[in-house]
Amino acid sequence: MHVLALNGSPRSDGMSKSKIMLNALVEGMREAGAEVDVVDLREKKVRTCRGCMCCWTATPGVCAIKDDMTAELFPKWLKADLAVYAFPLYHFTVNADMKAFIERTLPVLQPFFISVGKETLHPLRHRHPRVAFLSVAGFPEHSVFDQLSSWVRFLYGRFGILAAEIYRPMAEGLTIPSLKRKSAEVLDATRRAGSELVEQGTVSEETLSRITQDMHDDPRLFLQAGDLMWKACIREGVTVREFFERGLVPRPEDPGEFMTLMQAAFKPEAAQGMSAVIQFDFSGRHEDSYCFAIDNGTIRAAKGAAESPGLTIRSDFDLWMDILCNRADSQQMFLEHKYTALGDLSVLIRMKELFAGES
């Protein structure tokens, strides 16, 4: 099987979640024996269709625009058994780069009108490759793909050339350290989807449900943590890429943000089999107690003192927030008696592995 796998994200590798998902899919397709050509559309010149209809009239089947689409991609696409369209969901539909590619496949059709039942269609000039859609979105609800899916089914589903629709909401979670285990499961399922596409021509419901599984028990927490990141980017005047490259951690400004960040940064896989209650007794700007109960890979946050905390940290609120976002060194502050830790100090030492970004 020859596959043309297209990535329509304008983001570079490493940042593009479409590409991360596509790489996994391609791995699975290759494992199943397919020959896969991967193309990043951002590296190609694919201009938008100008509607001249030359491909239907003066030069039947050949587009008048001289760019990479005419010279390289359209011929490759025509020869492929399967075309994979991977792209980010923009404004709840196909992003512009991918849409430009799809519109430029017009030469595959002939101009004439034919009636099939109550519908008017254009006949095919050549065989149309089967297509698989792979899209990623920022929002957590699966319903964000409803409009896209309706269009995809209308355009391709009716003609029996739609191989699969693979949609991953909350895709930005794929590179978040605290969601590493879930991301690995999603990517493993995507790899499986690639093999199924080659071996069975489609993707099973079971595999799709593994791909779309919730990556976080509480998506609201993920969104709140996202807001903290946006605020930090705005405050520091950095892009999201710079935020991650510099390993920045948002600085919580109040106890609510502190509780959100601690829960969002918690790494379940690091706390398997562990049971501990960590209490913070803050002084200064926000004088109160907050505790986190860790139990075998789960975390619960609560305001107020715990009955019998295993570890109690007494600190000025702002000092601990500085420690949290790596502006102050926890070990040095401890040695300088800027805060105190009572109880099981091994938990204090493990904080770095339990919470992503913790210094």
Ligand X SMILES: Cc1cc2nc3c(=O)[nH]c(=O)nc-3n(C[C@H](O)[C@H](O)[C@H](O)COP(=O)(O)O)c2cc1C
Interacting residues with ligand X (CB under 6 A) = 9, 11, 15-18, 88-92, 136-139, 144, 171-172
Smallest distance from ligand X to CB 251, Å:
24
The residue (of 141 and 336) whose beta carbon lies closer to ligand X is: 141
Partnered with residue 322 across adjacent β-strands are none
The residue (of 56 and 139) whose beta carbon lies closer to ligand X is: 139
Smallest distance from ligand X to CB 42, Å:
10
C-beta atoms surrounding 13 within 10 Å: 11
Question: Do 278 and 290 touch, CB atoms closer than 8 A?
Answer: no
Please state, in angstroms and rounded to a whole number, the distance separating the CA atoms of residues 4 and 201: 15
**Can you say whether the dihedral through the CA atoms of 190, 196, 202, 206 is positive or negative?**
negative
Question: Do 20 and 187 touch, CB atoms closer than 8 A?
Answer: yes
* Run of H or E residues at 308: none
The residue (of 91 and 118) whose beta carbon lies closer to ligand X is: 91
* Run of H or E residues at 254: none
Smallest distance from ligand X to CB 154, Å:
19
CA 179 to chain centre: 11
The residue (of 136 and 313) whose beta carbon lies closer to ligand X is: 136
Smallest distance from ligand X to CB 182, Å:
15
Question: Do 356 and 271 touch, CB atoms closer than 8 A?
Answer: no
The residue (of 146 and 288) whose beta carbon lies closer to ligand X is: 146
The residue (of 141 and 218) whose beta carbon lies closer to ligand X is: 141
Smallest distance from ligand X to CB 138, Å:
3
Smallest distance from ligand X to CB 221, Å:
17
Contacts of 356 (CB under 8 A, 6+ apart): 176, 177, 178, 265, 266, 267
